[in-house]
Structure 1
Amino acid sequence: MYGDPMIDHLGINCTDWGRAQEFYDRVLGVLGYSRQLDYEVALGYGRDGHPAFWIADGSRNGANGPNREVHIAFQAADAAAVRAFYDAALALGAESLHAPRLWPEYHEKYYGAFVRDPDGNNVEAVFHGGA
């Protein structure tokens, strides 16, 4: 691994949910990755409790068109950086998906903000140290 990772996690929407689960269970399994979180409509794969790659059922969120959104989360150095990311994105005309806040459903110190980029992707900044 080279230095600190820029990407915290990445998510894609899948058109055939059952087939996608079978595919990623098998191909990621041979690489030593497994399901870390299961929200029924989204699965997070990784190691050691950190889901770094997510698949989601695109039929549930209308994302099965030819230009399905991608979700990417960038690591932030602290909560102030998450807020700066959000403010910079809005200043550039990005759509707010979720203002900066704690997300205890992910874990107690998960602090993140979500915006939609100019191409319709769900982009997040996350800090794992709380607010």
Structure 2
Amino acid sequence: MVRVVNIDHLSVRVSNFAKSKDFYGKLFAFLGFDVLDEYEGAIGWTNGKTRYWIGQADKKGTTSKHRIGDVGFHHYAFELRSRKDVDKLQRFLKEELKAKIVDPTAEYYDDYYAVFFLDPDGLKLEGMKFGEKKTAQKKKRKTG
């Protein structure tokens, strides 16, 4: 049987390559990613496990903006190390990137802490941490 072992990369088209390259370049530097490779009209970043690419949309593709709720991409979530990192990401988004935060840091589900924000084209992104409280409870029971 053939099995998927990983999701290698995500590639999104952007309306203004220079503007998106600046946005993602700052975001990914903050998140610990390095440039993987760059070609004319495309660039990718990696942290050694995850790869994220952007590329210039064609002329027809730039005539309408992405709308959350359309068929297709809903959001992409970056799993962070801790809730504190989610808080740090939100501060960075507000203070450095001036990104639009659509859902601020909160516990959206049991033990699921996240912040949701938009890239320059309105693509929804998320920084999240799941399971931190349960992990702490297990450690407490083992040492208690």
Under a length normalisation based on structure 1, what TM-score does the superposition of the two structures give?
A: 0.45
Structure ranking higher in helix proportion: 2
Larger radius of gyration: 2
Under a length normalisation based on structure 2, what TM-score does the superposition of the two structures give?
A: 0.41
Structure ranking higher in strand proportion: 1
